[in-house]
Chain A
Amino acid sequence: MSEMTRPTAAAPLPVRPPSGCPAGPPPHADLLDRGDPHTAFGVLRTTEPISKVSLADGSWAWLATRYADIRAILGDTRFSSDPTVPGYPLSGMTGGGNTDNRGFIRRDPPEHTRLRRMVTREFMVKRVEALRPRIQRLTDDLCDAMERTRERTDGPVDLVEALALPVPSLVISLLLGVPYDDHETFQRLTGTLLARAVPDAERAAARGELRDYLDRLVTAKGAAPGDDILGRLITEQQRTGEITHDDVTAFAALLLIAGHETTANMIGLSALTLMRDPEAADRLRRDPALIRGAVEELLRFHSIIRNGPRRAATADIEIDGHLIRAGEGVVVAVASANRDDRVFADADRFDPGRPNAQHHVAFGYGIHQCLGQALARVELQVVIDTLLRRFPAMRPAVPVEEIPFRTDMSIYGCHALPVTW
């Protein structure tokens, strides 16, 4: 057992790399090192794969950094996803410590299984593939608007505002059944929630307004349920007494939030990566069949979920010789697992043709693995293919040092991405 190897002091979460740059940085190293944790994760994977970290509220948790350990933890339901379980490391996590009417991602089986299965079919591969033409159409419409903006202003266009945020917002509106007349309100509120330059009070107000909006939407759908996710939840689950009105609203909030910020940031980072790697962009443009694999590599390489997911041990569990005791919390660094050289050769390199890219755990692993992953994949494939075809000359309109990266957020990406072409 590993009692001897346990450090006594807990280090802070490695949100910032140590100063100094290794000789001959790999391509994109400058993107990574901008407040990124990868250098620190790399050291931990070698020297102390399960280490103690301090959290913002003064508590501590274990930090797992190796691919194999992370799959072992996320694949073991004795590690609980319920933030009300003793030891769950809430401090500093995505979405904060709010445990009110939590969605299924913060529950354990059997409740997790029961709730997740109510919406699983909505995101299954064939359903999502059937949506591809509509996703293509709305992406084309947004690209048309970008061209008009560019002609009108002759200045740079913010790709985050013009494309990365609206694509997932419009897609989830479509799936949930947000009426077309409400799209503007819906996009304004979700945009405020995700923007950086918004005072906390305004963000809190937007959160309240969105909650009220979703509550009213679920009520309105109760009167006339449509052919959409909320309509089906109401007719098949709420009316049969399986779930309440508030549960339907919680589903709406979860599906909206889980699918929006994540996809939007992957769109921004993917576009930036390909603008800065013309050779890879050319390869994908010449052979669009490679885009599918390139999307897996982009997911692996960027691993936008930082400092999570989180679990609490409900039993004493040994992971690779290291004992985690019941009641102790674990921060599972999927971003580190995806850079583990034991699994991904030359892992800090972006290689759009990487054969085992799909082994990444960017969507998590275990029974909580992202429900919307097929949808996220299609959105990314469509957007990347469209940008490569329609804007072959697109480039950042500012030096990369001036791009505001989300080093201050638990989901990584760019706050804004000014582009020109």
Chain B
Amino acid sequence: MKITLDADACCGAGQCVLIAPEVFDQRDEDGVVVLLDAEPPAERHDAVREAAAICPAAVIGIHA
């Protein structure tokens, strides 16, 4: 799994951080999403998929 972000479109809701805190964080200066792990291990894939499904601005891309 490889994750991409469209950070410009992020609205900083923070749901990805709640669901997958090992993979996503928020920038200190403006709360915009940052990626901590672009290729997370298999045990985190479900959480990442959940975060992508819930993201209100649909900025999380998942690639096989």
Which residues of A are at the interface with B, using a C-beta cutoff of 8 A? Answer: 74-75, 113, 116-117, 120-126, 358-359, 363-371, 373-374, 377
Known contacts A116-B12, A358-B15, A371-B12; is A124 also within 8 Å of B31 by CB?
yes
**Is the contact region of chain A dominated by helix, strand, or loop, or is it mixed?**
helix
Bound complex: CA of A363 vs CA of B13, how far in Å? 10
Tell me what chain B mostly uses at the interface: helix, strand, loop, or mixed: loop
Is B57 located at the chain interface by the 8 A CB criterion?
yes
Q: How far is the CA of A418 from the CA of B35 in the complex (A)?
A: 47
- Closest-by-CB residue of A relative to B27 is A121
Complex contacts, A365 vs chain B, CB 8 Å: 56
Contact at B18–A374, with CB atoms within 8 Å? yes
How far is the CB of B58 from the nearest CB of chain A, in Å? 6
> Are B31's CB and A123's CB within 8 A?
yes
Q: Whole-angstrom distance between the alpha carbons of A386 and B56 in the complex? A: 30
A17 vs B44: C-alpha distance when bound (angstroms): 44
Tell me whether B53 is interfacial, beta carbon within 8 Å: yes
**Cross-chain contact of A121 among B19, B26, B56 (Cβ < 8 A):** B26
In the bound complex, do residue A117 and residue B30 qualify as a contact, i.e. CB atoms below 8 Å apart?
yes
**Which B24-64 residues have a C-beta within 8 angstroms of A?**
25-32, 50, 53-54, 56-58
The 7 closest A-B pairs by CB, nearest first: A120-B31, A120-B12, A369-B56, A121-B31, A124-B31, A124-B26, A125-B17
User: In whole angstroms, how far apart are the Cα atoms of A121 and B30 in the complex?
Assistant: 5
CA distance A75 to B50 in the complex (A): 17
Q: How far is the CA of A366 from the CA of B13 in the complex (A)?
A: 10
**A residues in contact with B58, CB < 8 Å:** 75
Residue tally, chain B, CB below 8 Å to A: 24
Q: List 13 A-B contacts (CB under 8 A).
A: A74-B56, A75-B56, A75-B58, A116-B11, A120-B32, A121-B12, A121-B26, A124-B26, A359-B54, A365-B56, A367-B11, A367-B56, A373-B15
In the complex, the chain B residue whose C-beta lies closest to that of A122 is B31
Q: A120-B31, A370-B13 are in contact. Are A125 and B56 (CB under 8 A)?
A: no
Chain A residues near B18: list those with CB within 8 A: 125, 374, 377
* CB-based contact A366/B32 at 8 Å: no
Asked if residues B57 and A366 are in contact (CB atoms below 8 Å), the reply is yes
A residues less than 8 Å from B31 (CB atoms): 117, 120-124
CA distance A122 to B54 in the complex (A): 21
* Cross-chain contact of B13 among A75, A126, A373 (Cβ < 8 A): A373
In the complex, which residues of chain B have a beta carbon less than 8 angstroms from the beta carbon of A366? 11, 56-57
A109, closest chain B residue (CB): B9
Q: In the complex, what residues of A have CB within 8 A of residue B32's CB?
A: 117, 120
Tell me which residues across on chain B come within 8 A of A373, comparing CB atoms.
Answer: 13-15
Closest A residue by C-beta to B12: A120
**For the complex, what is the distance from the CA of A228 to the CA of B58, rounded to whole Å?**
31
Query: What are the residues of chain A within 8 A of B15 when measuring CB–CB?
Result: 358, 373
Q: Using known A-B contacts A366-B57, A367-B57, determine if residue A121 contacts B29 with beta carbons closer than 8 Å.
A: yes
Docked Cα-Cα span, A369 to B9, in Å, equals 13
Q: Are B29 and A369 in contact (CB under 8 A)?
A: no
- Kindly list chain B residues whose C-beta atoms are within 8 Å of the C-beta of A370: 13
